[in-house]
């Protein structure tokens, strides 16, 4: 499923135009992004939670040259699925 598929499904289910459905999806995703940006956890009961994670910098060996290089610190998003979601996947 991609954003277009979701847009069409929401539009059909809730009797919205595709434009309204697309705007709804954009709004939801922007709110999730905003909350994660503030360091907040975003939780959907029965689905899972998203959290902002900071990965520390680390030194690794380059596989071709053997030279030690530093991978810089970075920010990523972690998703922790709920038990209910995992149960429903089987």
Dump pLDDT digits (tens) for 12-39. 999 999 999 999 999 999 999 999 999 9
Q: What are phi and psi of 80, to 5 degrees?
A: -115, 105
pTM of the model: 0.79
**CA distances to 7, 19, 25, 28, 83 from 15, in Å:** 11, 12, 15, 18, 32
CB 53 within 8 A of CB 76: yes
Calpha distance 5→3 (Å, rounded)? 5
User: Which secondary-structure segment (H or E) carries 77?
Assistant: strand 74-81
């Amino acid at each position: 499923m991609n954003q277009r598929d979701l847009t069409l499904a929401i539009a059909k289910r809730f009797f919205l135009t595709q434009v309204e459905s697309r705007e709804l999806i954009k709004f939801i995703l922007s709110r999730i992004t905003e909350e994660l940006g503030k360091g907040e956890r975003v939780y959907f009961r029965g689905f899972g939670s998203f959290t902002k994670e900071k990965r520390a910098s680390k030194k690794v060996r380059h596989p071709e040259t053997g030279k030690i290089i530093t991978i810089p610190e970075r920010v990523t998003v972690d998703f922790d699925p709920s038990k209910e979601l995992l149960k429903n996947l089987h």
